[in-house]
């Protein structure tokens, strides 16, 4: 996400850094490129106009023109204005009132409401709540089936909706049943349409009046760009939205919807969907997004992803093994599994400050299947081989390659990389363990 915008802004800032002192013309030329970059990213033209005007006003002040590092000051101003544009700070879900608290998910067909309902339920359960899923799209039986299957998959109860019952009645009945089952949060997946129409809005308004949701969230497809912003404005006018969930952000290299949404609708983006898996739902922190856009990484999100997949007890055991130089191929495999759970490698690299902007990283073909191959190779070894790789001779390598569906060269490369890692760990032990992030290896 934001790849195209990040690249264009990086080029504009690189030119600014080439000047020792910045003149008014230098700044205007640089901002012209920033404006073009934002428009190409499908940011609303009114937002771009106001954004550039604010940056220009601040950039022509003393804090830049008199600075010893004027280009850095301009970048800081752009960062500040990006954060302000996207809402300054994260706005949480509104969970107020008597339980079970209803949360209403609305949006057009194909925006990802049903999958997002499951993701949100999983997120809330991890936060200590007891969610209950309600399929209220009676016009698409497949939507009811999908949510029921998803609920079973993530072990979260789903209301047994039927297509011959009105959505309002379903929501009322679900409130009573969820209360009896001890649920404290109701997540309602409503019907969508191919486009905004009065029938859809009237139904949603009726549901709102009947159950008085604590929060109403629009689920919008980020890849539709300005259409997503226009759709948000229409839903907000009818329902007074509490916030927005932008889905398919992983497939949107432009980012125009994310940058325009708050400024045009006045409503905050609360979550973004970054993939199809149930855990691929991120809180939308404006300051972190601004940092990603400017190629400064996103360390806090990286840490949160790591904490979500790291078992503290296992992390402590791993630390002891490393200290004693007992880090085996089994441990190596377990770390690969943890990294894979955190998301695509390219996304993780972009969260590390400076890494995403490196030319060699941009040109590198990062293949997530490599981790799967590593797991397959290690799983094809015997336990004795995983604990003592030195016994793996030529014939064993052929057997491991055949068992994992890989080549002998792949096995050789893994063993070589493992050997180099062991040498590096020994150096860390000699130099002190403080440089290591606990629980996650610096692969």
- Range of the structural domain that residue 165 is part of: 101-295
Residues 276 and 201 in one domain: yes
Residues 281 and 138 in one domain: yes
Is 95 contained in some domain? no
241 exposure class (CB count in 10 Å sphere: 0-12, 13-18, 19+): buried
| Radius of gyration, CA atoms only, the chain | 25
Is the confidence at residue 276, as pLDDT, over 90? Answer: no
Contact of 77 with 59, CB cutoff 8 Å: yes
pLDDT for the residue numbered 322 = 65
Q: How far is CA 365 from CA 339, 362, 369, 409, in A?
A: 18, 8, 11, 19
Helix then strand then coil, in percent of the chain rounded to 5, is: 60, 10, 30
pLDDT digits (tens, 9 = 90+) for 124-167: 999 999 999 999 988 888 889 999 999 999 999 999 988 888 99
Going by pLDDT thresholds of 50, 70 and 90, the confidence category of residue 361 is very low
From 387, 386, 421, select the one nearest 400 (Cα to Cα).
386
Looking at 295, 327, 358, the residue that finishes a domain is 295
- Torsion angle, CA of 77/363/307/342, rounded to 10 degrees? 120
d(CA 191, CA 105): 9
d(CA 8, CA 34): 8
> SS3 of 296, please?
coil
Is 373 contained in some domain? yes
From 240, 218, 239, 238, select the one nearest 229 (Cα to Cα).
218
Residues 79 and 105 in one domain: no
Residues 53 and 22 in one domain: yes
Residues 81 and 113 in one domain: no
Residues 187 and 124 in one domain: yes
Both structure tokens of 138 = 């009676």
Is 442 contained in some domain? no
Contacts of residue 254, Cβ cutoff 8 Å, sequence gap at least 6: 2, 4, 5, 40, 41, 42, 225
pTM for the full predicted model: 0.70
Question: What's 378's DSSP letter?
Answer: H
Looking at 85, 112, 145, the residue that finishes a domain is 85
pLDDT for the residue numbered 68 = 63
How many domains does one find in the chain?
A: 3
pLDDT for the residue numbered 352 = 53
d(CA 279, CA 287): 22
Residues 70 and 189 in one domain: no
Residues 281 and 212 in one domain: yes
Residues 138 and 153 in one domain: yes
Residues 290 and 332 in one domain: no
- The CATH number for 14's domain is 1.20.120.140
Is 91 contained in some domain? no
Is 439 contained in some domain? no
Contact of 443 with 370, CB cutoff 8 Å: no
Contact of 204 with 221, CB cutoff 8 Å: no
d(CA 190, CA 80): 37
Is 93 contained in some domain? no
Residues 350 and 206 in one domain: no
53-71 average pLDDT score? 79
pLDDT for the residue numbered 226 = 83
Question: Beta-carbon neighbour count of residue 184 at 10 Å?
Answer: 17
Contact of 249 with 272, CB cutoff 8 Å: yes
d(CA 73, CA 196): 44
Q: How far is CA 407 from CA 371, 376, 383, 410, in A?
A: 15, 12, 20, 5
From 191, 179, 165, 233, select the one nearest 105 (Cα to Cα).
191
Looking at 85, 118, 144, the residue that finishes a domain is 85
From 158, 297, 299, 272, select the one nearest 217 (Cα to Cα).
272
pLDDT digits (tens, 9 = 90+) for 72-110: 888 888 888 989 999 888 899 999 988 999 999 999 988
Q: What percent of the chain shows pLDDT beyond 90?
A: 37
Both structure tokens of 301 = 């999100």
Is 436 contained in some domain? no
Q: What percent of the chain shows pLDDT beyond 70?
A: 81
From 373, 415, 364, 379, select the one nearest 394 (Cα to Cα).
415
Residues 184 and 270 in one domain: yes
Contacts of residue 298, Cβ cutoff 8 Å, sequence gap at least 6: 288, 291, 292, 350, 351
| pLDDT averaged over every residue in the chain | 82
N-term to C-term CA, the chain: 23
Is the confidence at residue 250, as pLDDT, over 90? Answer: no
pLDDT digits (tens, 9 = 90+) for 179-219: 888 899 999 999 888 788 888 899 999 999 999 999 999 99
317-326 average pLDDT score? 68
Is 72 contained in some domain? yes
- The CATH number for 374's domain is 1.10.260.30
Contact of 175 with 188, CB cutoff 8 Å: no
Going by pLDDT thresholds of 50, 70 and 90, the confidence category of residue 224 is confident
d(CA 91, CA 291): 18
pLDDT for the residue numbered 122 = 93
More confident residue, 353 or 429: 429
Q: What is the DSSP string of 45-75?
A: HHHHHHHHHHHHHHHTSHHHHT-SSHHHHHH
């Amino acid at each position: 996400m934001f790849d195209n915008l990040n690249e264009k802004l990086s080029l504009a800032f690189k030119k600014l850094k080439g000047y020792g002192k910045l003149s008014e013309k230098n700044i205007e030329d640089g901002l012209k490129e920033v404006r073009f970059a934002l428009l190409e990213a499908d940011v609303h033209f009114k937002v771009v106009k106001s954004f550039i005007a604010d940056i220009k006003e601040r950039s022509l002040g003393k804090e830049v023109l008199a600075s010893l590092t004027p280009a850095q000051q301009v970048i800081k101003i752009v960062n500040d204005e990006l954060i302000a544009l996207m809402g300054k700070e994260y706005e949480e879900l509104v969970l107020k009132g008597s339980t079970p608290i209803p949360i209403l998910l609305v949006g057009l067909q194909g925006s990802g409401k049903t999958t997002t309902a499951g993701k949100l339920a999983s997120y809330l359960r991890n936060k200590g709540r007891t969610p209950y899923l309600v399929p209220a799209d009676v016009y698409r039986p497949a939507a009811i089936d999908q949510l029921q299957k998803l609920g079973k998959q993530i072990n979260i109860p789903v209301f047994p909706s039927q297509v011959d019952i009105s959505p309002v009645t379903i929501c009322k009945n679900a409130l009573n049943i969820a209360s009896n089952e001890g649920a404290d949060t109701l997540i309602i997946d409503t019907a969508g349409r191919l486009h905004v129409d009065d029938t859809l809005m009237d139904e949603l308004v009726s549901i709102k009046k009947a159950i008085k949701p604590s929060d109403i969230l629009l689920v919008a497809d980020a890849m539709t760009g300005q259409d997503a912003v226009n759709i948000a404005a229409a839903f907000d006018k009818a329902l007074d939205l509490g916030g927005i969930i932008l889905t398919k952000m992983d497939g949107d290299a432009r980012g125009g919807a994310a940058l325009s949404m708050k400024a045009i609708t006045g409503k905050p983006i609360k979550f973004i969907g970054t993939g199809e898996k149930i855990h691929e739902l991120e809180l939308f922190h404006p300051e972190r997004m601004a940092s990603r856009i400017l190629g400064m990484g996103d360390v806090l999100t990286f840490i949160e992803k790591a904490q979500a997949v790291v078992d503290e007890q296992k992390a402590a055991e791993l630390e002891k093994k490393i200290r004693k130089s007992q880090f085996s191929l089994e441990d190596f495999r377990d770390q690969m599994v943890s990294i894979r759970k955190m998301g695509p490698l390219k996304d993780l690299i972009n969260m590390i400050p400076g890494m995403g902007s490196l030319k060699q990283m941009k040109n590198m073909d990062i293949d997530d299947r490599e981790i799967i191959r590593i797991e397959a190779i290690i799983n094809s070894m015997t336990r004795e081989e995983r604990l003592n790789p030195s016994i793996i001779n030529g014939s064993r390598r052929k057997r491991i390659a055949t068992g994992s569906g890989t080549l002998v060269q792949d096995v050789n490369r893994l063993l070589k990389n493992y050997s180099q890692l062991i040498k590096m760990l020994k150096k860390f032990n000699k130099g002190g363990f403080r440089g290591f992030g606990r629980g996650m290896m610096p692969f």
